[in-house]
Chain A
Amino acid sequence: MTDTNLNRRQFLGGALGVAAGASALAACGSPDSGSGTTSSAPSTAPSTSRPPIASEPGKMSLLEWAGYEAAGTKAQTAGMTVAGSDYIKKYGPDSVTYTYIENDDQALQKATASGGFDILHPCFENFQDYVDRDLVQPWDLNLIPSAADIDPGLLAKGTKDGKTYMLPWDWGYGSLTYRTDHVDAADATGWELAWNPKYAGRISLWGGASTNFEIAAIKAGIQDMDHLTDDQLETCKQDLIKQKPLNKFYWDSEYGQMQPAIKSGTVWIAYSWQDTLVSMKAAGVPVAYLDPSQGRIAWFCGFMLGKDTQNYYHAHEYIESFLNKAACAQMTNAYAYGTSNSMVTSADITDKALATSLHIDDLAALTSPSVHLQSWNPDRAKVLAAWQQVKAS
């Protein structure tokens, strides 16, 4: 290619010499481990020297689920019309950017690795992780009037050492949505539907590692899906390996992959939350939301405040625009999710039949023994390692 006759010996010599030199450089570093967090300073109490709202940068970066973008932003196309609208009207549609959560584990990883988010929207199962890794700081409830309406039991779950780290906002279920025109009702008895070889290539599980292991655990009849012994973990892993070839794909994007696939009939069975039921009914697609014999998965999620946010007061205002009653009521009607705002009653819900069948007007459903609430798993690292093995198999 050029006159520079790079022969093999030269190249090797070069590469080895350079590598040796660099190894010496790198190995002479400090003997303790590198840091994985973005900040190592201990969390401090709300400081009195916080800059006033006028001098905050204003542009916020959120780690958020698709569909939860503030109403009024270009990205919000899924049907939420009230939540966030107050904030956007005041600060403009370009005042927030969204980085999408693909699944709980990926979100935690992203928050840990890149950081820099003003607001995050994780779920209860990772609450302890976010607090332990010093990724978040407590909210000042005095700045959020509607926080007083949050169900106290739920709010308590988001509180640690008297400080409120998570403001619960939404709750619901995880189950399988299936096309009633392609799936035999006789097969739709429980989670084993996703393992049914009859529907090979027509199934799509979520890419969420923890959730898939919970599904496998529930299907195997394991009582506590978030505390698995090593044997149970291995059983679940083998089960998921068996299930893998039946998937068309593991979906990462609800609106980008999963819902269009169900709509077009590419996929007949998919892991989803109950909002898919609403979307499909609205599009005239015949689906049902599986009520498995082993019980559905349940979750609740909430807003957390980034540790290093420069937009402390903006963030609180944003949350207020999501937590007020009108916003929560509209969200429930749009997505059939439950809300943490206790002011929202069954009177506010338009589809009464749906509300009753899903019990979304009754917070007690979240902790009922017939569902499995996703909670903190102390051995999550093992689950994630096992998931990597599933993916490689």
Chain B
Amino acid sequence: MTGRLGSSLLWVYFVLMVAFLFLPLAILVLFAFNSGTTPTLPIEGFTTKWFTDAFSNTDLTSALVRSAAIGVLASVVATALGIMAAIGLNAKRVPGEPVAIGALLLPLVVPYISLAVGMLILLQALKFKNALWEIALGHAVIALPFALLVILPRLRSLDGSLNEAARDLGASDFAAFRLVTFPLLLPALLSSFIICFSTSFDEFAIASFLYPSGQPTYPVFLYGGARSPAILPQLIAIGTLVIVISLLIVGLSELGRRWAERRIEGRNSASVDVSSADNLATT
């Protein structure tokens, strides 16, 4: 369908594009190990001291811990709510379905800056002081659509007869869910957790307005430090770690997905043989 010239040009385009996309990441990695104190060329030498400096910078490490804690809390809440929403939407009859769907996907389109200031003025009106849990809840709500979009397809693809079989055998709805559905959902729950966590860990708008004095989250700290030459090398070092970890997670989840697919395909092909044998038997 595409000629040789077209293909070659597109290959070149692709390679250039990937290089362009990875360029900033490569730059960060480069300067994370550069011994010069400012990120300029030429490279001066190799060092790992920025990493050790970064980890002994308590302001930086506390910000990382804070963001991680918020991320975990937000992911747990968003994933739990995502499960509930998926179960609800999977029903035969959902009361108020259009409203429910609209509401659940709403956070995807709301501009984060408007939401952040909205939360700010609401919390002020309610006389709540800034707090980290408020940020976590804000992150949970913006991550909720992602959780739903990951969990619902997986739930839909599960074979309902397993669940029915469990209930036929006497299990309560909840036990059936806990022992049959939930384990089968685990890959989706893991994906949901990862997506929600990375959304929360990188979120700046809500955090910048709601963080309590002296307790910035990592993105807020990053933003403040980006213009400070003294700690910029440390931030680049930590940033490199964050990037490498994210890329690893992406790579691993892809490998995990392929592995899971192969397993499911294996099981399905076995069952297809059984059913086709059944069909043959009945005809």
Chain A residues in the interface with B (C-beta under 8 A): 1-4, 6, 9-15, 17-18, 34-36, 38, 40, 61-63, 74-75, 77, 94, 97-100, 110, 113-117, 252-253, 255-257, 260
In the complex, how many residues of chain B place their beta carbon closer than 8 angstroms to a beta carbon of chain A? 35
Is A15 in contact with B103, judged by CB distance below 8 angstroms? yes
- Asked if B102 contacts A11 (CB within 8 A), the reply is yes
**Cα(A257)–Cα(B96), bound, Å:** 53
The 8 Å CB contact of A14, one of B59, B102, B215, is B102
Across-interface contacts of A11 in B (CB, < 8 A): 98, 101-102, 105
Q: Which residues of A contact B101 (CB under 8 A)?
A: 4, 6, 10-11, 14
The reply on B124 being an interface residue by CB < 8 A is: yes
Additional 7 contacts, C-beta under 8 A, given A2-B152, A74-B58, A256-B229 = A3-B152, A3-B156, A12-B102, A17-B98, A97-B59, A114-B129, A114-B213
- Partner of B105 from the list A6, A17, A97 (CB cut-off 8 Å) is A6
* Shortest Cβ distance from residue B118 to the other chain A in the assembled complex, whole angstroms: 11
Write 18 A-B pairs (CB below 8 A) sorted by A numbering. A1-B149, A2-B156, A10-B98, A14-B102, A17-B98, A17-B99, A34-B121, A38-B129, A63-B213, A74-B58, A74-B59, A113-B120, A114-B130, A115-B213, A116-B129, A116-B212, A257-B227, A260-B229
Q: How far is the CA of A63 from the CA of B213 in the complex (A)?
A: 8
Which residue of B is nearest A10, CB measured? Answer: B98
Interface of B is mostly: helix
**B102–A15 contact, CB under 8 A?**
yes
- Cα–Cα distance between A1 and B129 once the two chains are bound (Å): 39
Contacting residue for A253 out of B57, B102, B228, CB 8 A: B228
What is the CB-to-nearest-CB distance from A21 to chain B, in angstroms, rounded to a whole number?
A: 9
B127 beta carbon closer than 8 Å to chain A = yes
Q: Once the chains are docked, how many angstroms separate the CA of A348 from the CA of B144?
A: 62
Judged by a CB distance under 8 angstroms, whether B256 is at the interface is no
B224 interface residue per 8 A CB criterion? yes
A6 to B120, CA, bound (A): 30
In the complex, the answer to whether A34 meets B125 with C-beta atoms within 8 Å is: yes
B residues near A4, Cβ cutoff 8 Å: 89, 101, 152
A13 and B102 contact, Cβ closer than 8 Å, known pairs A97-B59, A113-B120, A115-B213: yes
Q: A35-B124, A99-B213, A99-B214 are in contact. Are A18 and B57 (CB under 8 A)?
A: no
Complex partner residue of B214 from A9, A17, A34, A97, CB under 8 angstroms: A97
- Let me know if A2 and B228 touch, CB within 8 A: no
CA–CA, A110 to B124, complex, Å?
13
Q: Is B260's beta carbon under 8 Å from chain A?
A: no
B98–A14 touching, CB < 8 Å: yes
User: Chain B contacts of A6 at CB under 8 A?
Assistant: 101-102, 105
The smallest C-beta distance from B147 to any residue of chain A, in angstroms, reads 13
Q: Which residue of A lies closest to B229 (CB)?
A: A260
A257 CB contacts on chain B under 8 angstroms: 227
Contact in complex: A14, B156 (CB < 8 Å): no
User: Which among A98, A113, A260 has the greatest number of chain B C-beta atoms within 10 A?
Assistant: A113
Complex alpha-carbon distance, A134 and B221, angstroms? 29
On chain B, the residues within 8 Å of A110 by CB distance are 213
What residues of chain B lie closer than 8 Å to A40, measured between beta carbons? Answer: 127
A2 touches B149 (CB 8 A): yes
Determine the residue in chain B with the shortest Cβ distance to A112: B124
| In the complex, chain B residues 52-109 whose Cβ is within 8 Å of any chain A Cβ | 57-59, 89, 96-103, 105-106
Q: How far is the CA of A94 from the CA of B60 in the complex (A)?
A: 12
Please name all residues of chain B whose beta carbon is closer than 8 Å to the beta carbon of A38 when the two chains form the complex: 127, 129
Chain B nearest CB from A318 CB (Å) reads 14
Instruction: Quote the shortest CB–CB distance from A115 to chain B (angstroms).
Output: 6
Determine whether B186 belongs to the interface, using a CB cutoff of 8 Å to chain A: no
Chain B min CB distance to A112 (Å): 9
Which residues of B are found within 8 Å of A62, using beta-carbon distances?
214
Question: In the complex, which residues of chain A have a beta carbon less than 8 angstroms from the beta carbon of B103?
Answer: 14-15, 18
Closest to B105 in A: A6
From A35, A114, A255, residue with most partner B Cβ within 10 Å: A114
Quick check: A61 and B102 within 8 Å, CB to CB? no
Say whether B125 contacts A35, CB under 8 Å: yes
Q: Which of A17, A100, A114 contacts B212 (CB 8 A)?
A: A114
Residues of A near B212 (CB, < 8 A) are: 114, 116
Q: Is the CB of B214 within 8 A of A98?
A: yes
Residue of chain B at shortest CB distance from A12: B102
Shortest distance from the beta carbon of B97 to any chain A beta carbon, whole Å:
7
Given A74-B59, A97-B59, A116-B130, do A61 and B99 touch, yes or no (CB 8 Å)? no
Check: B244 CB closer than 8 A to any chain A CB.
no
A326–B214 alpha-carbon span in the complex (Å): 28
A77 to B99, CA, bound (A): 55
Cα of A110 to Cα of B57 in the assembled complex, Å: 25
Query: Which of chain A's residues has its CB closest to B216's CB?
Result: A99
Expressed in whole angstroms, the minimum distance between the Cβ of A195 and any Cβ of chain B is 26
Nearest Cβ on chain A to B262's Cβ, whole angstroms: 24
Tell me, rounded to whole Å, the shortest Cβ–Cβ distance linking A2 to chain B. 5
**Chain A residue contacts of B120, Cβ below 8 A:** 113
A34 pairs with B149, CB closer than 8 A:
no
User: In the complex, are the beta carbons of A9 and B130 less than 8 A apart?
Assistant: no
Q: Is the CB of B106 within 8 A of A61?
A: no
Residues B97-139 near A (CB distance < 8 A): 97-103, 105-106, 120-121, 124-125, 127, 129-130
